[in-house]
Amino acid sequence: MKIYHVPCLEDNYSYLIVDESTKEAAAVDPVEPEKVLEASNSLGLTIKFVLTTHHHWDHAGGNEKIKELVPGIKVYGGSIDNVKGCTNALENGDKVHLGADINILALHTPCHTKGHISYYVTGKEDEDPAVFTGDTLFIAGCGKFFEGTAEQMYQSLSVTLGSLPKPTRVYCGHEYSVKNLQFALTVEPDNLRILEKLTWAQNQRQTGQPTIPSTIGDELESNPFMRVDLPAIQEKMGFNSPVEALGELRKVKDNWRG
């Protein structure tokens, strides 16, 4: 299994998931289809289907166009998310297969949108899995609670995604890592892992490189939104439950200007 970044718009990422033995690929959130197809063609791939994380235009906005450019292509999306151009609606736990070796599991991760899907992808046994988290989980951050509650985001982050194997690589929808890590440091100023990762992320961006992927293990160490079970973070937010602390943390981040 190989994964390629395709930078789109100002700070979005689309991705190509590739089954190496067949050169078949899936496109994740191909908001600029021409760019994604150009990348695919230059690598000698055949895009078999689209995986849409959620209905927002900067993720699903290329679906109709890619259907024109690749007649008969399937477009997967969450069943309750009203995804533009969707041909195949997915429920939590549904599986999709790619090529010879890749299995994709749909995980319902609501809150940013009510039908948001994250895609958990496994390849050969010796390969680390990957998860495509759209705008639910970012590196050191999470999406705004546009269509859901703190309870839902807690379930999505700490239960659904947090229980994936720690080496699982995290591919999110936007390049927000530097700002997110700067904010994370205000929440946990003594967390050396955050400081190390911020320095690394700044260097990556200065050389035009992505800061993605992270891993689930890394996020559990450096993402405050996945660390609200810690009494120190709850105390800092003025609550003694993880869900309330998460809600407050999101409010603080929404008002933070950096």
* 174 tagged catalytic: yes
- Give residue 76's pLDDT: 98
**94 noted as active-site residue:** no
Which of 115, 104, 24 lies closest to 70, judged by CA?
A: 24
Please determine, for residue 129, whether its predicted confidence score (pLDDT) is greater than 90.
yes
- Model confidence at 258, in pLDDT bands (50, 70, 90)? confident
- Provide the pLDDT for residue 94: 98
The verdict on whether 55 is a catalytic residue reads: no
Q: How far apart are CA 183 and CA 80, in angstroms?
A: 32
The arithmetic mean of pLDDT across residues 158-184, rounded, is 98
Q: Is 128 a catalytic residue?
A: no
Residue from 58, 81, 116, 218 carrying the catalytic annotation:
58
The model's pLDDT over 68-85, given as tens digits with 9 standing for 90+, comes to 999 999 999 999 999 999
Q: What is the pLDDT of residues 211-255, one digit of tens each?
A: 999 999 999 999 999 999 999 999 999 999 999 999 999 999 999
Please give the pLDDT value at position 30.
Answer: 98
Tokens of residue 69, six digits: 């450019």
Residue 8 Rama label (left phi>0; alpha psi -120 to 50; beta): beta
> Residues 19, 29, 81, 135: which is the catalytic one?
135
- List, for residues 79-114, the tens digit of each pLDDT value: 999 999 999 999 999 999 999 999 999 999 999 999
| pLDDT value at residue 42 | 98
The catalytic position among 29, 55, 81, 112 is: 112
- Which position among 54, 55, 108, 116 bears the catalytic label? 54
Q: Is residue 54 flagged as an active site residue? A: yes
| CA 86 – CA 27 distance, rounded (Å) | 13
Catalytic (active site) residue 116: no
Q: Which of 59, 81, 116, 218 is catalytic?
A: 59
The chain-wide mean pLDDT, for the chain, equals 98
The answer, yes or no, to whether residue 194 has pLDDT greater than 90, is yes
Residue 219's pLDDT is: 98
Confidence of residue 23 (pLDDT cuts 50, 70, 90): very high
Q: What is the spatial order of strands in the sheet that 74-78 belongs to?
A: 2-8, 12-19, 24-28, 46-51, 74-78, 88-90
Q: Domains plus CATH for the chain?
A: 2-255 (3.60.15.10)
Active site residue 81: no
**Considering Cα of 144, then 149, then 150, then 152, what sign does the dihedral take?**
negative
pLDDT above 90: residue 18: yes
Residue 49's pLDDT band (cuts 50, 70, 90): very high
Check 19, 29, 55, 56 and give the catalytic one.
56
Burial of 239 (0-12, 13-18, 19+ CB in 10 A): middle
